[in-house]
Amino acid sequence: MTSPLFDPIELGALKLKNRIVMAPLTRSRAVEGEVPNPLAPEYYGQRASVGLIISEATQISRQGQGYPNTPGIFTEAQVQGWKRVTDAVHARGGLIVAQLWHVGRVSIAAYQPDGRPAVAPSAIAAEGNAMKEDFTMVPFETPRALTLEEIQGVIADYVHAAEMAKKAGFDGVEVHGANGYLIDQFLKDGSNQRDDRYGGSVENRLRFMLEVVSAVVAVWGADRVGIRLSPSNGSNGTRDSDPAAVFVPAAAALKPFGLAYLHLIEGEPGTAMAPWEGAPLLAARMREAFGGPLMLNGGLTRETAEKAMSEGRADLVSVGVPVLANPDLVERWKTNAPLNAPDRATFYGGGAKGYTDYPFLETVGA
């Protein structure tokens, strides 16, 4: 049976061979200096048959880091590490964009270059636990609110990282505005209680996101920039009292840029990314307000992906865990072949096991 999933699609300047995208997946395997692991070129290269790879989240500065061994995109050594990754993906006919990340309050003083508390829109702690550099957990600490001057400094860090991503040979960048990290913290009223021009009204809460996007677009051109949003998954306790009132206008405010795509996490019921109880489903409304390609993510199977596309909730989809465990997911979906089971114990940290050793179809049982 033919499926729109295997049709090509253009996202701005990016010409995808199919509509199955590898979702960004943190693997916490960076080496000294937060440089991508030497196996990263092989890991990403193995997955180059998807229409587009979105890199694991890459911090734009040391201040933006909140997990162990996540790769950065702000030093020369990191750029060299990423260059090997982009070369490997291109050699196998793939496309890859860098996900630009600042975790904001989802960090602790131990990661901060100055040893001070992590930064956030407001001094409100995230919910749950932070992971220390030795992979043990500690409760989140209360962050400190960014000053107006510091906000401009963070935007300058985004510009620097965007430039470094260009140098590293990426095909574009995705601004990580999802999952309770810094941009999402500004968007949602549970984490943003500022009373200056970055807080309060919806217009003010959109400001930081729009300034970041504008700065990154100035480096790359809008046709190579995407953004990821998650109106309603509540990651790290980041919630809004009325997500529709923020995120439909957010999609509309992004429209004039003419971005390559809007990447929306709106998990299927029962998945880790499912909306919190009572949260609205916004994909169709946001797709209409954005007016460009909408990439949907969250617990999708071939069937639910096709359904989302036929119902007007998506133009293409991204897939995380299934691509992590199946380097040839596109071929498997195409042929309805069985899937490898993911090994959760090797998601974060470690070496080749659970990273570059998931079998391809032809090697199953060989």
Ligand X SMILES: Cc1cc2nc3c(=O)[nH]c(=O)nc-3n(C[C@H](O)[C@H](O)[C@H](O)COP(=O)(O)O)c2cc1C
Residue 265 binds to ligand X (criterion: CB under 6 A): yes
Q: For the segment 21-50, give every residue that binds ligand X (CB under 6 A).
A: 23-26
Binding mask 92-131 vs ligand X (x if CB under 6 A, - otherwise)? -------x--------------------------------
Binding mask 178-197 vs ligand X (x if CB under 6 A, - otherwise)? xx------------------
Q: Which two tokens stand for residue 153?
A: 């400094």
Annotated catalytic residue: which of 67, 111, 158, 181?
181
State the DSSP code for 201.
Answer: S
Sign of CA dihedral 96, 102, 106, 112: positive
What is the C-alpha to C-alpha distance for residues 332 and 340, in angstroms, rounded to an integer? 10
Which residue lies nearer to ligand X by CB, 66 or 298? Answer: 298
Which residue lies nearer to ligand X by CB, 128 or 256? Answer: 128
CB 240 within 8 A of CB 277: no
Residue with tokens 């060989």: 366
Phi, psi (rounded to 5 degrees) for 101: -135, 135
Which residue lies nearer to ligand X by CB, 86 or 194? Answer: 86
Write the single-letter amino acid at 289.
A
Least separation in angstroms between CB 290 and ligand X:
18
CB 268 within 8 A of CB 303: no
Mark out the alpha helices in the chain (DSSP H runs): 40-46, 76-91, 148-167, 182-187, 202-220, 243-254, 283-290, 302-310, 321-325, 329-335
Binding mask 270-309 vs ligand X (x if CB under 6 A, - otherwise)? -x-x-----------------------xxxx---------
Phi, psi (rounded to 5 degrees) for 85: -70, -50
Which residue lies nearer to ligand X by CB, 144 or 307? Answer: 307
Judged by CB under 6 A, which stretch of 135-143, 151-159, 175-183, 205-213 contacts ligand X? 175-183
Residue with tokens 């307000």: 289
Which residue lies nearer to ligand X by CB, 256 or 351? Answer: 351
Q: Which of 19, 29, 176, 313 binds ligand X (CB under 6 A)?
A: 176
CB 56 within 8 A of CB 71: yes
Least separation in angstroms between CB 178 and ligand X:
5
Residue 56 binds to ligand X (criterion: CB under 6 A): yes
Least separation in angstroms between CB 55 and ligand X:
8
Binding mask 7-26 vs ligand X (x if CB under 6 A, - otherwise)? ----------------xxxx
Residue 220's Cα: distance from chain center in Å? 18
Residue 231 binds to ligand X (criterion: CB under 6 A): no
| Closest listed residue to residue 292, CA positions, set 225, 212, 235 | 225
State the DSSP code for 241.
Answer: S
Least separation in angstroms between CB 348 and ligand X:
6
Residue 57 binds to ligand X (criterion: CB under 6 A): yes
In DSSP terms, 39 is beta-bridged to none
Residue 347 binds to ligand X (criterion: CB under 6 A): yes
Kindly state the number of chain residues that form the binding site for ligand X, as judged by CB under 6 A: 22
Question: Which residues, 6+ apart, have CB-to-CB distance to 277 below 8 Å?
Answer: none
Which residue lies nearer to ligand X by CB, 176 or 224? Answer: 176
Q: 111 an active-site residue?
A: no
CB 294 within 8 A of CB 262: yes
Q: Which of 39, 281, 321, 339 binds ligand X (CB under 6 A)?
A: 321
**Whose CB is nearest to ligand X?**
320
Q: Which two tokens stand for residue 273?
A: 């990314």
Residues that bind ligand X (CB under 6 A): 23-26, 56-57, 99, 176, 178-179, 228, 265, 271, 273, 297-300, 319-321, 347
Active site (catalytic) residues: 181
